[in-house]
Amino acid sequence: MRRTLMAAATATLVALLPNTAQATPSYPDPRPLTGQEIIHDPTVMRLKSGGYVAYSTGGIIGTRLSDDGTHWDDAGNAFAEPPSWWYEYNDTGDPWAPDLTYRAGRYWLYYAVSSWGTNHSAIGVATSRTGLPGTWTDHGKVFTSETTDHWNAIDPSIIQADGKLWMSFGSYWTGIRMVELNPETGKAKQNATVHHLATRPDAPYAVEGPEIVKHGRHYYLFASYDACCQGVNSTYKIRVGRSTSIKGPYIDSTGKPMLEGGGDLVLEGHGRYVGTGGQSTFRDKGQDWLAYHYYDAEDEGTPKLGLNKLNWSKNGWPHVA
């Protein structure tokens, strides 16, 4: 009885105290994976033929294949050789941050080519009937940016909304932008308006890697904030805002616009899983999933694939599970 009374008194005291300890978020670990887990900026999809594919930064768009979404095998590269035009943007023909979608009976693979620290950049597109590596036909540039622009044409992400095809993109250089695409060619419409969706208040405007998802009556803009690509020193984290219009404004749950630095925290580093970001989403058997990379603090900061279920609260906000 004495222990019961003490426990009850303690519980009452905790309830009366400010909710400081409980304010610190905790995150579930990613799904346990086996095989080839090393990856960066993953885009994941279950193919119509069965099995899963993940494309990523590294190689000539590195590829991983899986029968069950748990064990992953290295499957080489999307392309045997870099298309010649890639060399306009870097000396090695190195592509970044692919995005995989399916529409009109074909798989569409968008990607970026650039060099570190410049916005002389381009987004390209390729198509395939199967979505498998080695089957892609490149169609050239979709949209470009130059050093005179206030945006950076990398990190593409595609969504269909209101009968139109849209591409969000952006990295630093005042943040996340969006343009309308021609659904026939998959490329930016001529003289397309460049919409502004998200930024940070101060230079270097550390927000990139957008992904827009429709859920219910809202569009949700996920983005990676802070520093990528520094191993265990990375501070990458994933934030989100939402809007009833594809064009925004996107706001977080407190009402702060993403154009003013807002964004609810969805996932950040915890334990061995450092610098979570470079995210994408996919849907499989009625379940939404969040794919991302993290830097493994127990493996010298090696970038690896993270997969978590993406669930939705009653008031419509996403959270990892």
N-term to C-term CA, the chain: 38
Nearest alpha-carbon partner for 185 in 167, 170, 161: 167
Question: Catalytic: 184?
Answer: no
> Structure tokens of 256?
């702060």
59: left (phi over 0), alpha (psi -120 to 50) or beta: left
298: left (phi over 0), alpha (psi -120 to 50) or beta: alpha
Backbone phi, then psi, for 300, in 5-degree steps? 55, 30
Nearest alpha-carbon partner for 307 in 272, 267, 271, 259: 267
Report how far residue 193's alpha carbon sits from residue 247's, in angstroms, rounded to the nearest whole number: 11
Among the options 208, 211, 252, 264, which is catalytic? 208
Name the strand (E) or helix (H) holding 310: strand 302-312
Task: Let me know: does 272 contact 9? Beta carbons within 8 Å.
Answer: no
Question: Catalytic: 99?
Answer: no
Among the options 41, 94, 180, 211, which is catalytic? 41
> Looking at the chain, how many residues does it have?
321
Nearest alpha-carbon partner for 122 in 161, 159, 100, 149: 149
- Bridging pattern class, strands 106-113 and 95-103: antiparallel
Nearest alpha-carbon partner for 96 in 82, 108, 106: 82
Name the strand (E) or helix (H) holding 16: helix 2-16
Report how far residue 183's alpha carbon sits from residue 34's, in angstroms, rounded to the nearest whole number: 38
Catalytic residues: 41, 208
